[in-house]
Amino acid sequence: MPKVVIDGIEIEVPPGTTILNAAQRVGVEIPVFCYHPYLKPAGICRMCLVEVEGMPRLLPACITEVQDGWEIYTNSDRVKDAREWLLEFVLVNHPLECPICDEAGECELQNFVFKFGEPRKRLYDEPFKYPTRYLGPLIVHQMNRCVLCRRCVRFSDEAMGGTDWGVYERGYRTIVGPYERDVFAQKYTFNMEALCPVGAITSNIYRYKTRIWKLDFTNSVCAHCEVGCWLDLGERDGQLLKVLHRRGYPSPWICDKGGYGFEYVNHSERITVPLRREGNRLRGVTTDEALEFVAGRLKGLVESGGKVAALVSPHLTCEDYLLMGSFMKEVVGSDYLDYRLYGGNTYPERPAVDSLEGVEKAEAYLVVGEDLSVHHPVLALSVAKGCKEGRASLYLIVTGDSFLFKFAAEHANPLPGKEEKVLEALASVLGGKDYASLLEGTEVSEDTLKAMAQGLQEKKPLIIGGSRLTPEGRVLLKGVGERLGITPLFLDWGSNSKGAFQMGFWSPGGESVEDILNKCVSGEIKGLFVSSMDLFRDYPNGTLVKEALSNLDFLVVHDMFFTETVAYSDCYLPATSFAEDGGTVVNMFWEAKKRNRAFKPKDESMPLWQVALGLSRKWGRPLGDFGTVEDVTPLVRERLSQVVEAPSTLGGVKAAHLKGDIPALFEYPFYRAGMRTDFCNAFVQLVPEPYVTLNPEYGDELGFKNGDIVIMEVDGNQFRMKLFFRDEVPRGGAIVSRGFSDFPITRALKGLWYRGIELRAAKE
């Protein structure tokens, strides 16, 4: 082991350690621009030059590996001089607009000049001036401020496998940015902004809002998906203004939903007072009055023999599920409660791996039934990492994957609704049975499947079952896993499905959301409590939702916005956002994490657990004496350690309705997936309206052009929208976007996210 002396401190480090890492170990600061712990070292910026005894020139610390006996000085006159010169050179073309720059306060250039620079400027020349580029609603790029560290380019290259972002020209004329796009939003754009050491890439959402030192940061967990990234929520005056990802856990990277998808918290359309229906109007009332009214009506319904059900979003905390569950089961005496409002009839299962590092270690991956980059974006980056480095091979059985297909060794891209047929065929190949007939009408070739089976047998894969899988699909995938000796990792929709399941927030009889809605239609259920979800936007059967809600005697909606579901309600209770209340959430690896409260709830907003508590008090059978969410947490912790058995749901899913010209998959676009993304202004600007996508070849065949306006017809209902060509769509199928609260696209669906559609050109 080489022994080195850094600024007089002796340290022994493993061979291959760079000077910079050795210095970090002894706590000596070396300034860096281009170095980043999670990117490959590049040695571009020369900020980290240090002196080594006996070497004629200064050495870059970030790429030089230490040798035994080296005496390193990071603070000698030569080094200081080099830093001063370098900073002076960087500042020659720097606009010095710190007073209006959003990065000021967290800018590395600012810090370094302050610490290591010399307050002088000797070259007075006209600096280079580049125009500011507003690259869509997420980021702004200002080349004038760039220090050419290329962290953004390296991120795009190393983590994302290359995007439309590069460096052009060379020397002092170098320009960084997108080559052909005017709007840059690539699912992981936030990381590029976060990596930028200066204000060259800044957030458009945060632009000119506040200064970083005026923000109060609270640690929390992202509420969009069950990867559950740690976030630091920056609050000022009861507004959530900035999100940071300082802990770099569970992954060093996060997605744009985590980084930018918080605007709904401060949305101006938020309704923060309870409303009560009076004829055709909803009138503002006090919380007390509203709770009294709801409890009284529910009690009345139950006493007259009617049933009451609760449908709650899978994005809330365990505390919410626990108390609401207790209220429904013990006080109201209802057997109908569910959190699976995205549709589907599966319950969470224990996974085979326990962390993202575990995922990254795998030698091969089999992903079935989900576009990971949409619903679990950070997991997709972890899967891509090994494949990009050539350590692992990736096998996909996914319709219309939009990110991972670039890394796939074999990509079976079946027609919508045929993923499980292909999975069945794969199981047959592995079992040595005949499979050719299973592949009929899936658009997947036998060669692909054979290669896939061979690859899976050679290396031990990690099997990931996506949220689109039905209970039958999960059984098939478990069968494949058994044959290979692996337990699959099953994913669910929502950020806390696992927690909701563990808290027992499901019907003991195993009824699905569809069953509950059918019971509303038949009149068995007379009262319904909906929390934090617009059923019309997310439940894949708009017609059934409409019928069920109009048939109810009493509907309570606990939400933040006036959604279509609220329009049917008899009482509206204002909900808090994830930033306004703490709680426990369970991530995809069954790890319990604590969300903290960043600021106090706006006006009368209440988290669900408080609503349940308030209702139980008004009912006359209080659930207990809980003051804050921390009082409920011990109960949650206790429940989390228990083993919960899920009821079998096999045979509950009816076949998809695929009649019609083209089988279509209804899938969320990335910027529309997750919680309340249709109230995030930036995301709404990125995906303003629904669209249909077709494979270019197939589109050509049908006589359409990219960008045409088409009419999609389902069951005689006509939807007018735009048509785009995308390579990832399987030939012969279509992918239709969903997740729009102001566009009734779920009316086209019948409980599953597959549907046969007809397309024709719209007459102008």
Which residues bind to another protein, rule: CB under 8 A?
157, 162-170, 178-180, 696-697, 700, 727
Tokens found for residue 414: 């079946």
Taking CA 32 as the corner, what is the angle to CA 31 and CA 37, rounded to the nearest 5 degrees?
120
Which one, 124 or 179, has the nearer CB to another protein? 179
Which one, 407 or 609, has the nearer CB to another protein? 407
Q: How far is the CB of 158 from another protein (least distance, A)?
A: 13
Contact status, residue 25 vs residue 45, Cβ threshold 8 Å? no
Distance (Å, rounded) from C-alpha 712 to C-alpha 707? 14
Instruction: Return the exposure string of 703-731: e unless at least 16 CB atoms fall within 10 Å of the residue's CB, then b.
Output: ebeeebebebbbeeeebebbbbbeebbbe
Q: How far is the CB of 288 from another protein (least distance, A)?
A: 59
Which one, 317 or 393, has the nearer CB to another protein? 393
**H or E segment and range at residue 488:** none
Beta strands (DSSP E) in 450-582 are 461-465, 489-490, 525-531, 554-559, 571-574
Q: How far is the CB of 390 from another protein (least distance, A)?
A: 14
Which one, 111 or 706, has the nearer CB to another protein? 706
Which one, 43 or 161, has the nearer CB to another protein? 161
**H or E segment and range at residue 390:** none
Contact status, residue 328 vs residue 310, Cβ threshold 8 Å? yes
Residues in contact with 566: Cβ distance below 8 Å, sequence separation at least 6, in sequence order:
557, 559, 572
Sign of the alpha-carbon torsion through 34, 37, 38, 43: positive
- Taking residue 19's Cβ as centre, other Cβ atoms within 10 Å add up to 27
Q: Which of 41, 42, 59 is nearest to 50 (CA)?
A: 59
Which one, 171 or 509, has the nearer CB to another protein? 171
Give the chain's radius of gyration (CA, Å): 28
Tokens found for residue 451: 């290669």
Distance (Å, rounded) from C-alpha 78 to C-alpha 58? 8
Q: How far is the CB of 408 from another protein (least distance, A)?
A: 12
Look up residue 575 and give its DSSP letter.
B
Distance (Å, rounded) from C-alpha 55 to C-alpha 47? 18
Residues in contact with 56: Cβ distance below 8 Å, sequence separation at least 6, in sequence order:
none
Which one, 679 or 724, has the nearer CB to another protein? 724
Q: How far is the CB of 162 from another protein (least distance, A)?
A: 4
Q: How far is the CB of 164 from another protein (least distance, A)?
A: 5
User: Distances from the Cα of 413 to the Cαs of 170, 234, 264, 397, 449, in angstroms?
Assistant: 41, 41, 35, 6, 11
Which one, 44 or 552, has the nearer CB to another protein? 44
Which one, 162 or 523, has the nearer CB to another protein? 162
Give me the long-range contacts of 669-673 (CB less than 8 A, separation at least 24). 669/374, 669/737, 669/739, 670/187, 670/255, 670/256, 670/257, 670/373, 670/374, 670/377, 670/402, 671/185, 671/256, 671/257, 672/737, 672/738, 672/739, 672/740, 673/224, 673/225, 673/257, 673/374, 673/375, 673/739
Q: How far is the CB of 727 from another protein (least distance, A)?
A: 7
Residues in contact with 292: Cβ distance below 8 Å, sequence separation at least 6, in sequence order:
618
Which one, 165 or 568, has the nearer CB to another protein? 165
Q: How far is the CB of 157 from another protein (least distance, A)?
A: 8
Which one, 600 or 705, has the nearer CB to another protein? 705
Contact status, residue 414 vs residue 476, Cβ threshold 8 Å? no
Q: How far is the CB of 412 from another protein (least distance, A)?
A: 17
User: Distances from the Cα of 195 to the Cαs of 130, 151, 171, 207, 370, in angstroms?
Assistant: 21, 6, 22, 17, 29
Which one, 162 or 508, has the nearer CB to another protein? 162
Q: How far is the CB of 239 from another protein (least distance, A)?
A: 36
Which one, 38 or 168, has the nearer CB to another protein? 168
Tokens found for residue 298: 């529910």
Which one, 405 or 743, has the nearer CB to another protein? 405
Q: How far is the CB of 148 from another protein (least distance, A)?
A: 13
Residues in contact with 126: Cβ distance below 8 Å, sequence separation at least 6, in sequence order:
none
Which one, 494 or 730, has the nearer CB to another protein? 730
Residues in contact with 268: Cβ distance below 8 Å, sequence separation at least 6, in sequence order:
none
Q: How far is the CB of 235 from another protein (least distance, A)?
A: 37
Strand 554-559 with 571-574, pairing? parallel
Q: How far is the CB of 406 from another protein (least distance, A)?
A: 8
Tokens found for residue 65: 């590996």
Q: How far is the CB of 163 from another protein (least distance, A)?
A: 6
Contact status, residue 107 vs residue 95, Cβ threshold 8 Å? no
Tokens found for residue 246: 């300082």
Q: How far is the CB of 452 from another protein (least distance, A)?
A: 19
Strand 525-531 with 307-312, pairing? parallel
Which one, 162 or 333, has the nearer CB to another protein? 162
Q: How far is the CB of 726 from another protein (least distance, A)?
A: 11
Residues in contact with 410: Cβ distance below 8 Å, sequence separation at least 6, in sequence order:
395, 396, 448, 451, 452, 455
